[in-house]
Amino acid sequence: MKKLGFTLIELLVVIAIIAILAAILFPVFAQAREKARQITCVSNEKQIGLAMLQYVQDNDEYFCPANYGVNNWALEIRWYDMVQPYVKNGDVDSNGHFYGRNGVWHCPSFPSAQNANYGVHEYIFPGAIGGDGQLATPVISDASITAPADLVMVAEKGQLDGNSSYPFFNAAEPAWTDTVLPSPGITRGKDWSVSNVGNSSPGGFGEPNESNCDLPYNASTSPQWATDYGNCGSRVRYRHQGTCSMLFTDGHVKSMKAGSVNWYKNIYDPTIFAIAGQPTGANLH
């Protein structure tokens, strides 16, 4: 008698094989998708870097500030707006200014549509403090940077409460390491920027919970980590399979693995920190 179909056993075997293949391939597909997002993020920062270098060239070799206020903070101008003429990409807000939303300003792995997915080094790009919205420290010249190929100037960062996050990332030593580094050669301690512990570092910065930093913000449920300076909104993030896309001051972009950033080499610069009034050299002890 001619066989007209599959037996139940044959169907179960085929289904089992498909399930096994799916279990093997789905993680691979997810990794491939995240890799594509990482490549997009690197491309974004490369374009931002070219724009930043053009801005520096056109402004007497000085970097722009992270932000400043106009008319006692009636309007805030951020670095995204200052380099926008060299990018010509992204969305404007209700005031007609660019705050770092969409286009090259958006990391495809960012958990929300919030502004400021990328942040600048807070001491290379000084920000405004106080009621008048004026800069706290002078803008920085390109010649002031000791090692441009080693110093990070832009990195992916976390989200804050509301519609916009900080325009910079936290560069202070206690935000990066639990030890004081007296010299570039010493082994660094625990990297606070990738921690998932949730307590406080020796310098007093609240240590963010890494998983919480990557959740979409919810005003009714998100804890204090989302609102304070020194927490998620001003910390670098490692969303791309444990890496963070970082733009260096010489213009090159590199995906840095979590825990691989050496604060003394990649974040600290004695001249920049001195201008910003931060501890330098022997004062780091």
Residue 253's pLDDT is: 97
Q: Which residues of the chain have pLDDT under 50?
A: 181-189, 196-208, 224, 285
Residue 203's pLDDT is: 38
Q: What is the pTM of this model?
A: 0.81
Residue 228's pLDDT is: 61
Residue 169's pLDDT is: 92
Residue 209's pLDDT is: 52
Residues in the chain: 285
For 140-169, how does the pLDDT look when each residue is reduced to its tens digit (9 = 90+)? 999 999 999 999 999 998 887 777 788 999
Residue 224's pLDDT is: 47
Residue 256's pLDDT is: 92
Question: Could you identify the residue written with the tokens 């053009």?
Answer: 54
Residue 164's pLDDT is: 79
Q: Buried b vs exposed e over 142-173: b needs ≥16 C-beta within 10 Å?
A: bebbeeeebbbbbbbbbbbbeebbbbbbbbbb
Residue 112's pLDDT is: 83
